[in-house]
Amino acid sequence: MKFIDEAKIEVIAGNGGNGCMSFRREKFIEKGGPDGGDGGKGGSVIMVADNNINTLVDYRFVKKYAAKNGEHGRGADCYGHKGEDIYLRVPVGTTVVDEETGLVMADLNELGQQFIVAKGGNGGLGNIHFKSSTNRAPRQTTKGEAGERHTLRLELKVLADVGLLGLPNAGKSTFIRAVSAAKPKVADYPFTTLHPNLGVVRVDTDRSFVIADIPGLIEGAADGLGLGHKFLKHLQRTKVLLHIIDLAPLDNNVDIIADAVAITQELEKYSDELYHKPRYLVLNKLDLIPEEMRAEVINDFITQFKQYDTNTNFDKVFTISGITGENCKDLCYYLMNFIQERTSEQVQIKASSSVAGDL
């Protein structure tokens, strides 16, 4: 299935039914008074986060979704039937944005979470509501309200704990294949990854985390070059980023320092929040460097890169080989512990905020 992470749709809620003007007329009851019922409420359009959906591809083909109108009121004090709601199922992690105002209407990041994106109009009042001691035969009614209508932009941001950054062919896909059951395409040419890949990394029987691999970034990505800039949004929900560096590029003329700096600059251009997210260096393709030269190459890279990047956590730098799996297990255990600590901190902050709110 083609991965689609954006879609634009129109949602139209149902109109409320009109109120009815009616008078009771039965045998021997010549002037029974008003008995016009209310109109039914229009149906609403509701978004639901569903784990069984992984892409927004369905919303690329069907662009308009309209709920049913409410029925009009009837005599004998009969109220109109409510219009049927329609439920639009979207992947967990979908953000709903009003295309006209640019405001975020909902962020559906929990399974089963619902949000009314277009509210149905209320039904009109029948003449039964207007009777009084001085107006025993009212002929007033009200019309049903129009349902809401919006043009929405749906944006899917995948839910992952760890995000991978790096140039094309840095070895991100090889790494995710080494530590999870995911099998993204791997080849010796750039841009083999064309859409995000998710992999579940199990470090123990009851401990696991999700890792996201996006297409490689190139210089100028924030201005629209390459593919990676389209998918950087998928890293916004992650807890930690891994900047994967190719220590042994095939082209000897490649300046790995300049390339690494270019990635951090593109990250900062795209989002200040993403730039300041916890980030670690992962020096890959260790197997292609002679063992006696590894320490010198690694120390030389770190020393030079420190001058340009102040946000990367240089206290912990990982050296791995994605193709052989060297040091990958240690990296995964470190990430698991880091994620659990961050999750525990977030739970404590929410608990404190909840207590403060109650007070």
Is residue 309 included in any domain, yes or no? Answer: yes
Cα–Cα dist 257/254, whole Å: 9
- Give the pLDDT confidence score for residue 262 in this predicted structure: 84
Is residue 259 included in any domain, yes or no? Answer: yes
- Give the pLDDT confidence score for residue 248 in this predicted structure: 85
Q: Is residue 144's pLDDT more than 60?
A: yes
The reply to whether 150 and 178 lie within a common domain is no
**What integer is the mean pLDDT of 51-65?**
85
Please work out, in degrees rounded to the nearest 5, the angle formed at the alpha carbon of residue 202 by the alpha carbons of 201 and 204: 155
- Of 156, 188, 219, the domain-final residue: 156
- Better pLDDT: 114 or 231: 114
Is residue 215 included in any domain, yes or no? Answer: yes
- Give the pLDDT confidence score for residue 4 in this predicted structure: 65
Is residue 357 included in any domain, yes or no? Answer: no
Residues spanned by the domain of 38: 6-156
**What integer is the mean pLDDT of 93-100?**
90
The reply to whether 123 and 261 lie within a common domain is no
Both tokens assigned to 120? 């149905």
- Give the pLDDT confidence score for residue 352 in this predicted structure: 67
- Of 156, 184, 204, the domain-final residue: 156
Most confident of 114-118, 224-228, 243-247: 114-118
Is residue 359 included in any domain, yes or no? Answer: no
Q: Is residue 90's pLDDT more than 80?
A: yes
Cα–Cα dist 234/264, whole Å: 16
- Give the pLDDT confidence score for residue 6 in this predicted structure: 81
The reply to whether 69 and 141 lie within a common domain is yes
| pTM of the predicted model as reported, rounded to 2 decimal places | 0.69
Instruction: Give me the amino acid identity at 198.
Output: L
pLDDT bucket at 192, cuts 50 / 70 / 90: very low
The reply to whether 207 and 138 lie within a common domain is no
For the chain, the domain total comes to: 2
pLDDT bucket at 229, cuts 50 / 70 / 90: low
**What integer is the mean pLDDT of 313-319?**
89
- Residue among 231, 224, 216 at smallest CA distance from 186: 216
The reply to whether 152 and 169 lie within a common domain is no
CATH at residue 13: 2.70.210.12
CATH at residue 241: 3.40.50.300
Is residue 45 included in any domain, yes or no? Answer: yes
- Better pLDDT: 324 or 189: 324
The reply to whether 151 and 207 lie within a common domain is no
The reply to whether 308 and 166 lie within a common domain is yes
Both tokens assigned to 18? 């009109």
- Of 127, 156, 185, the domain-final residue: 156
- Give the pLDDT confidence score for residue 272 in this predicted structure: 86
The reply to whether 277 and 319 lie within a common domain is yes
In tens, the pLDDT along 15-29 reads: 999 999 998 887 777
Report whether 8 contacts 49 (CB < 8 A).
no
- Better pLDDT: 257 or 225: 257
The reply to whether 209 and 85 lie within a common domain is no
**C-alpha neighbours within 13 Å on the C-beta side of residue 101:** 7
Percentage, residues of the chain above pLDDT 70? 87
The reply to whether 117 and 170 lie within a common domain is no
- Better pLDDT: 202 or 252: 202
Distance of alpha carbon 272 from the chain centroid: 19
- Better pLDDT: 88 or 344: 88
- Give the pLDDT confidence score for residue 190 in this predicted structure: 45
Cα–Cα dist 263/119, whole Å: 44
- Better pLDDT: 189 or 210: 210
Q: Is residue 232's pLDDT more than 80?
A: no
- Give the pLDDT confidence score for residue 182 in this predicted structure: 66
- Give the pLDDT confidence score for residue 330 in this predicted structure: 92
Is residue 87 included in any domain, yes or no? Answer: yes
The reply to whether 211 and 148 lie within a common domain is no
Is residue 136 included in any domain, yes or no? Answer: yes
* Strands of the chain, DSSP E: 6-12, 45-50, 64-66, 86-91, 94-98, 104-108, 114-118, 149-156, 162-165, 197-204, 207-213, 240-246, 279-284, 318-319
Q: Is residue 102's pLDDT more than 60?
A: yes
In tens, the pLDDT along 268-307 reads: 888 888 888 899 999 999 888 888 999 999 999 999 988 8
The reply to whether 346 and 236 lie within a common domain is yes
